Structure 1
């Protein structure tokens, strides 16, 4: 069969019956899509929850530890007995 014959056969097959979608395929695709969207939304909510908890934990830690304060000097002893100045 030459090229023209093959093209004619393909055109005839396509013209005889329109393409068909298997039954239930659309419903299955919609169900899977909804499930994927729910999972993505749940993952996003979980991510925001973890991020909020981390921010809260950092805030509490910073308020308790106060890392911005200088630690007391340990190289020089405290000066005592100089109160009369």
Structure 2
């Protein structure tokens, strides 16, 4: 199929009358879209809640464990008598 035939086929397809749509299509799309938006909002809130809980848990852990402090060295014996 060359370019001219493809263009003619595309014109034939575009010149046809569109098929009739179901009468309740708008209401169904509106209902599904609203449900999708509510679901996304719930998931977003849950993720923010989990992020805040993780931040609080990390802060409490860091405040109690002090991971930035070096542990005492146990590989060398204490030096006495210098």
**TM-score under structure 1 length normalisation:** 0.66
Deviation, 1:23, is 1.5
Inter-partner Cα distance in structure 2 for 1:19 and 1:73? 81
Deviation, 1:78, is 8.3
Which structure's CA Rg is the greater one?
A: 1
Structure 2 gaps of 5+ residues are 1-7
Distance change in 2, residues 1:35/1:45 (3 Å): same
Match of 1:29 in 2: 29
**TM-score under structure 2 length normalisation:** 0.68
Inter-partner Cα distance in structure 2 for 1:78 and 1:45? 58
Structure 1 gaps of 5+ residues are 80-85
Kindly tell me the number of residue pairs found equivalent between the two proteins: 68
